[in-house]
Structure 1
Amino acid sequence: MPIHPQLTASAFKHPQYFTTLQELDAYNAQAHHPPAPILPYIARSGAAVKSAEGRGKLLVSHDYKGGYTELPNARCYTFNFWSSVDTFIYFSHHRITIPPSSWTIAAHRQGVKMLGVLIFEGGAESDCLRLLLGRTSATAKPTRSSNPELSIPLSNYYAKALAKLAADRGFDGWLLNFECPLAGGVEQTHLTSVWIDMMRAEVKSAVGDHGQVIWYDSVVITGQLAWQDRLNYWNLPFYLSSDSIFTNYTWPITYPALTKKYLSSIPSSLRRNKSPSSIWVGVDVWGRGSHGGGGYGSYKAIEHVAEAEEKGEGLSVALFGQAWTWESEQDKEGWNWERWWSYEKGLWVGPAGSEPPAPPPQITTQQQDNPRRPRCEHGPFRSISSFFPTLPPPNPSLLPFFTSFSPGTGVSWFVNGQKVMQSEGEGGWTDIEKQGSVGDLVWPQPKVIWAEEGEAGGYIEEGEEKPAVRSALEMGDAWLGGSSLRISLDVPPRPHPPSPTENEDEELFRCVRVPINSLALTPGTTYDASMTYKITSNESEYVDLALCIQLDEGDVEVVSDGNDEDQVSASGWMTTRIRFTTPSSSSTATTATAVVEAAAPPTAPADADFLASISLQISYTYTPSTGTSLSLLLGLLSVSQSIQPLPLPLSVPGTGRALPRRVVPRVLFVEFEERGKELRWETGVTFAPLDLHGGIGAGRDPEENPIPAWVLASGKTAYPGFAYFNIYAEAQLPSLRFEGAESAIFIGTSGVDGERDSFGIGEREIETILRLNKSEDGGQKVVRFWVQGITDRGEVLDWADCASVDVAI
């Protein structure tokens, strides 16, 4: 959570991890409030999944300095290339690793599953046995079997407890990592595989059918710790009991093909419908015996996994320790966030255009490729994302798409284009929950498309080069949060003299489209989209920016709702809105007109969705002799299912008075809980007044009117929710009055431990706030706290729709 640099973030209310199974037992035995619910997992569109059929998937296992290193008052590692990822594991070496809610929210926002870790390492043999026996009782004696040939009793206690823990904390399953020998031999390994089967059923019952239990290639069926680096007879029972297997990463280049061949040899009656994509072939970005030596050489290992894909359905990849780009360099002189971002982009998306890749950090001896393995020839460097399809976030009809292009870290905080917080010195903030897409189609370099000739593209000369467009994250100016996306366009002067019929000083009109982010859209559905931008430099006589929705099969006609003109803010930012309707099916025409019907939930199956992109359309003029350039900031991009697609008037007929918005979210009240030292608030929605006599169907016999007096919006996104809340404070003046919310000081945001509707604040923080407000000494001191909501569409509530509470000390 971004927080004022002179304040301290509140503590977590629930354990972040457990070091033993007994700690989990003790926690469950205590009375405690359940954790706040967080953003649930919403699967990506079936159409996106279908488009990637036959290709392997990508799992990322995040192991960074033991985990739980993110700080609200420092810049830390964040992950941003979610569109290539299917599953993300938050890894640590504690017995039970619970992914921080901020990471889970960021993953779910992109349609990615988040897993925790159950790990047993050296000296954990007793806990491995306890896992099977279940919780022991201090008073009751365990039953004993009269048959000595039977195995020890197997309990599903911890299977249920871990499944419940995943459901309570909002993540999607577990990686099981047994890296210590099982002294019970075959009896214990057999029971372990049965326990895994139990756990898999419990996880799917508690979390949902998408819940996952993944086995790490470690212990074999004899109980020995013997990494196999592939699927084979020695680890097969564990694989069949789980959803998938994550192999060790020191495999020779022949193993991916052998693994796939071995899987195909398993009788179909025993295979449990397992496919090659359920085998995650391990690749260690730190090297440590991994083919290619790790780092920027990780692509060499992935190429061998991809070779197996060419011969049918592909194996998947498990990338371990991707934060190598940060951890290996962070203590070196000259290290900063910008240098890391250069390394990170190089690893994931490669260099922009013909630029050479950023020099990779020096690979140490332990990262070298295994010298005992035969070397093989590889082509030039390939980025990680080049091996996997770009998968869009969940359909906006199920989860509104909203991004302010935050990577989850920054140095400032902006609200409606105004800077309300600046970090001190070289500090900054990190909050993964505030992360949005950084634009999954603009890296390493945006694609440029001429607009349709005769539509808006002007006359494009044969062989005319498209303008060069570059992308960058901008931390110095933003609309919301801590950053924006800079798009720069350059049209160089013509290198050749004009033709006899051409005037080199004549103004030429051109129009290009720059895809920003992928989408999946439901057929026959009306959506609202908005874009907030600022032009920072421009050499053209004429520039116009617009939003465009492009289907993979063509364009969607933009349907105006009467409110598509640009709205200018005091800080120079402009907002434009469009409303569009998708064709009723992929077999119909690729353009559509407005659907004048009430909003309805999507009825088409998810695999019938359109794959699309939201693009920036840039129209400009230039003269061939001088060229032109343009630089702009994108501060917000939002797409959501239209709450009310009816073309309602925007003003009261005959008066010119604007009608209130149909649905307005509000903060209803704020209260301060003395015992918990925290602010808590409740939210709701208000509705515009209805006219029963002037609506649809007026003039008919009211009793026989088939049109209802009002139509309720339907679906999961029918009413706006909230992404987060900004918290402000102001001290009472000596005159016993307050200046108002506009004069209050920003002190932080919601979000600690997934608590979206609360904010911890103690007496020390109140004293600091009084000092920041330059409150005078003497008498009772009163601070007024304001809570300002930011909706899941990216709208900041007006102060009239916010609430406050006064706290005295």
Structure 2
Amino acid sequence: MDPIAVTDDCVHGAFLPMSSFFLTVSPPNPMHLPFFTSFSPGVGLAWFVGGKKVFESSKGWTDVDKSTSLGNLVWPKPSLSGTKDGYDPKAISMISMEDVWIGGSSLQVSLSLPPSENVDDILWLPIQSLSITPRRAYKASIVVKVSCAITDLNLEMSVRGITGDTPSTVEITKLPVNPLLYGWSEYALIFTAASGGSLDISYAIGVTLKYTSPCPCDATITFGSLSTYIFPNSVTTLQHHISLAAFERIPSPETAPPFSGTLTWNISSILPLLTNVIYPTSAEDPHPTWTVDATYPSFLYFNIYVQRSTSPGYENVAFLGTTGFSGIENTFYIDGSHPIIISQQEGDRKGELESLRFWVQGVTDRGDVLSWDQCTSVEVQW
């Protein structure tokens, strides 16, 4: 068969980016489902917990359970704006897998800043859109690391309306900046949409920048995590605890490597010690002694660690993995042939350990990593 001769010219319209064919839709209202992102595409080369690298893989890892929003207003192209006349905003966003706060990646935004001698000049960098219910208080927090040649760069977290609303339409209470490890800082605020309507409104969470510099300069902002949830009205907050961890060996232990089995655990809640207790005035007093936080968080996943039973505390724990891959709640399969478990046996006079301790550490849907006193461990004899 003779090839078909193409004689007509290829006629097409203007090329458009893929994003132009899809509407920008905000995630569910945090009043119904807390919003959290660690800017993860569900793949990575390492794993970080609180800025510390606890695992590294030369081949990388893939886990769709860990994928989160990349910031729909900043990825793949930031929309930086400023108050300075004639300012041409220049910003580039990228995913970093080397400098990470939690999970396997972070979001880096590189900025080219023009000279500025006016402290009133403000740059606005929106990150994520959210649907907000008017007259409801929300708490938002973001973990950030800033690298800049100038020292007077001032970063603040902010909330603005996407439809051109000014910041005055949002009542904002800024909370103190919380310095974290490895150069990270947490910015947080409580905000309420002041609109008198009843329908949800689209707002953007981002950061504002102020600086003074006689010459152009570059800055890099690394975003580690972002969370938003309903601000609790209660004065008493339940504390998460991991409890009742158990280990069940596989049915045929004689044919399996040592310490192979299933690790399971339960979750408990503890009320903190009450202070300034106001006791009921009568049996019919409708006001309770304490009110429980209705926005009690759940867990995103759990980090699993192992250590020799003879090691004190938790300083020498070794990371094994995270839950989510199997899809079974509060369960993690321990493979006795794992290189980390085998490495725990090195140096033992008998060639193998008689017992190991497995730790379970929770990460909430607000991005909080439980402290070790809120975690639990189980010692497994062999």
What TM-score range do you get, normalising by the shorter chain? 0.7 to 0.9
Aligned pair 1:769/2:358, yes or no? no
Give the counterpart letter for 1:531 in structure 2: I
Match of 2:208 among 612, 617, 620: 617
Q: Secondary structure at the match of 1:711?
A: coil
Measured in 2, the distance between the counterparts of 1:551 and 1:705 equals 42
Match among 244, 265, 272 for residue 688 of structure 1 = 272
**Aligned length in residues:** 365
1:583 pairs with 2:156: no
Residue in structure 1 matched with residue 314 of structure 2 by the alignment: 741
Could you tell me which of 206, 218, 221 is aligned with 1:629? 218
TM-fit CA distance, 1:380 = 2.8
Shift of 1:675: 3.5
Which residue number in structure 2 is paired with residue 259 of structure 1? none
Q: Match of 2:152?
A: 542
In the alignment, what sits opposite 2:18?
384
Shift, 1:759, TM fit = 0.8
Q: How do 1:636-785 and structure 2 match up within 5 A? A: 636-642=225-231, 644-645=232-233, 662-675=237-250, 677-691=261-275, 693-694=277-278, 702=282, 707-714=287-294, 718-732=295-309, 737-765=310-338, 768-772=340-344, 774-778=346-350, 780-785=353-358
For each residue in 1:82-121, what CA deviation from the matched residue of structure 2 results, as whole angstroms up to 9, or x when unmatched?
xxxxxxxxxxxxxxxxxxxxxxxxxxxxxxxxxxxxxxxx
Percent identity (aligned): 35
Structure (1/2) with the larger helix percentage: 1
Deviation at 1:685, TM superposition (A): 2.1
The residue that corresponds to 2:101 in the other structure is 479
Q: 1-side partners of 2:265 and 2:284: how far apart?
A: 45
The structure carrying a bigger strand percent of its residues is: 2
Q: Determine if contact 1:725/1:756 at 8 Å carries over to the other structure.
A: no
Question: Runs of 5+ in structure 1 lacking a partner?
Answer: 1-369, 451-456, 494-503, 587-603, 649-660
Aligned to 1:490: 112
Contact 1:516 1:614 in 2 (8 A): yes
Q: Deviations over 1:132-174 (max 9, x none)?
A: xxxxxxxxxxxxxxxxxxxxxxxxxxxxxxxxxxxxxxxxxxx
Tell whether the 8 Å contact from 2:134 to 2:193 is kept in structure 1 after alignment.
Answer: yes
Structure 2 gaps of 5+ residues are 252-260
Q: Which deviations, in whole Å up to 9, do the C-alpha atoms of 1:593-619 show, x marking residues without a partner?
A: xxxxxxxxxxx5xxx111111112222
Question: Which entry has the higher C-alpha Rg, 1 or 2?
Answer: 1
| 2:46/2:56 contact within 8 Å kept | yes
Kindly state the Cα deviation for residue 630 of structure 1 after the two structures are TM-superposed: 1.2
The amino acid of 2:355's aligned partner reads: V
CA contact (8 A) 1:445 1:470 kept: yes
Residues 507 and 517 from structure 1, CA distance in 2 versus in 1: closer, same or farther, beyond 3 angstroms? closer
Question: Is 1:429 equivalent to 2:43 in the alignment?
Answer: no
| Equivalent position amino acid for 1:806 in 2 | E
Distance 1:406 1:771 in 2: 30
Amino acid at match of 2:106: S
Deviation at 1:705, TM superposition (A): 5.0
Alpha-carbon shift at residue 773 of structure 1 (Å): 6.0
Q: Is 1:444 aligned with 2:82?
A: no
Structure 2 letter corresponding to 1:401: F
> Aligned partners of 2:7 and 2:229: how far apart in 1?
52
The Cα of 1:376 is off from its aligned counterpart by 6.4
Q: Is the 8 A contact 2:141 2:228 kept in 1?
A: yes
Write out per-residue CA displacement over residues 479-500 of structure 1, whole angstroms, 9 at most, x where no aligned residue: 001111001221245xxxxxxx
- Following TM superposition, by how much is the alpha carbon of 1:545 offset from its aligned partner in structure 2, in angstroms? 1.6
C-alpha change, 1:584 and 1:668, in structure 2 (3 Å) is farther
Counterpart CA distance in 1 for 2:137 and 2:245 is 35
Structure 1 position 523, deviation (Å): 1.7
Shift of 1:570: 2.7
| Distance change >3 Å, CA 533–CA 774, structure 1 → 2 | farther
Deviations for 1:17-40, whole angstroms, at most 9, x for unmatched residues? xxxxxxxxxxxxxxxxxxxxxxxx
- Deviation of the 1:633 alpha carbon: 0.7
SS in 1 for 2:247: strand
In structure 1, what is the Cα distance between the partners aligned to 2:108 and 2:317?
30
TM-score (norm 1): 0.43
| 1:98-497 equivalent positions in 2, closer than 5 A | 377-424=11-58, 427-450=59-82, 460=84, 463-492=85-114
Pairwise CA distance, 1:742: 2.6
Q: Whole-Å Cα distance in 1 between the matches of residues 320 and 334 of structure 2?
A: 10
Q: Report the TM-score when normalising by structure 2.
A: 0.87
